[in-house]
Amino acid sequence: MNILMQAANDIKANRSFALCTVISTAGSTPRSASARMIVYESGTIFGTIGGGTIEFEVIKAAGESISSGKPSLYAANLGRDLGMCCGGEMKVFIEPFAKRAVVHIFGAGHVSKSLAQFLSQLDFETRVYDEREELLTVDNFPNSNIVLGDPVESISSIANQLTSNDAVVIITHLHDLDFSILSKSLDLDWGYLGLIGSKTKIKRFELRLKSDQTVDLGRWSEASAPIGLDIGSQTPAEIGVSISAELIAWRSGASE
């Protein structure tokens, strides 16, 4: 498979990787300019820029670029710097492609519909969970993965899959359902957790959490509750904007 086709597949599959391209050479080198290689977070590769020490060093540099999210340029004299017999010079441009942040939206009501539409234009991957088949449809959520079933069971099923690159948004139609999802989410490895509701609702939830001996308060202090930026939102679309803005701030690190 062509390197660029593989890169396109990796982007579609939401995998992090770095595209390493030989941009110039001088003298004797194992590959010529335009040779490409993909490096994944695990250190595995697709393609080659010639093997040997130069490739090993570029793989290390690519790992650093994936972690930092910043492109880099690796340049070396193969003989003097790396002890390779060919002795030429190579420059390799390393371009990282970050995994898109995944937003897990619990609830398929009006706010969820607006939020998912906004997030699809902001390069987030969205997954929507609800048990109401009439609402959780492709027509309502054309750019999201939809998961039909009990949302409480759904949060339990993805508990071990969540990472700091995941956001959990709780905006269901029932307070008790919100609370059940929240209580199961608090000690999970998410990057963002948001709960919709008035300040009164949030305060009551906090009291319930503290009085429930079976619930681990976990990272409650890190949750966004009420969810979204305080911009006076009232309509589903306005609330969707406020949540989207907060998620942008989380993704960029501006909220830290």
The residue among 183, 182, 158 whose CA lies nearest residue 171 is 182
Looking at the fold, whether 148 and 205 belong to one and the same domain comes out as yes
Select from 65, 97, 129 the last residue of a domain.
97
Q: Provide Rg for the chain, Cα atoms.
A: 23
When pLDDT is averaged across residues 125-141 and rounded to a whole number, the result is 97
Looking at the fold, whether 71 and 111 belong to one and the same domain comes out as no
Nearest-5° angle of CA 98, CA 99, CA 101?
115
When pLDDT is averaged across residues 90-108 and rounded to a whole number, the result is 96
Looking at the fold, whether 170 and 199 belong to one and the same domain comes out as yes
Nearest-5° angle of CA 119, CA 96, CA 161?
55
Looking at the fold, whether 113 and 233 belong to one and the same domain comes out as yes
Looking at the fold, whether 137 and 90 belong to one and the same domain comes out as no
Instruction: Give me the domain span that covers residue 71.
Output: 3-97
Looking at the fold, whether 178 and 198 belong to one and the same domain comes out as yes
Helices within 2-72 (DSSP H only) = 3-12, 52-68
Q: Which helix (H) or strand (E) holds 118?
A: helix 110-120
Does this model's pTM top 0.85? My answer is no
Q: What is the pLDDT of residue 16?
A: 94
Each residue of 171-216: pLDDT tens digit?
999 999 999 999 999 989 999 999 999 999 999 999 999 888 777 7
Q: Residues near 252 by Cβ (< 8 Å), separated by ≥ 6?
A: none
Select from 64, 97, 130 the last residue of a domain.
97
Looking at the fold, whether 11 and 74 belong to one and the same domain comes out as yes
Range from 19-23, 44-48, 163-167, 210-214 carrying the lowest mean pLDDT = 210-214
- The CATH number assigned to the domain holding 196 equals 3.40.50.720
pLDDT category of residue 86 using cuts at 50, 70 and 90? confident
Looking at the fold, whether 71 and 51 belong to one and the same domain comes out as yes
pLDDT category of residue 256 using cuts at 50, 70 and 90? low
Select from 82, 97, 112 the last residue of a domain.
97
Number of domains in the chain: 2
The phi-psi region of residue 22 (left if phi > 0; otherwise alpha if psi is between -120 and 50; otherwise beta) is beta
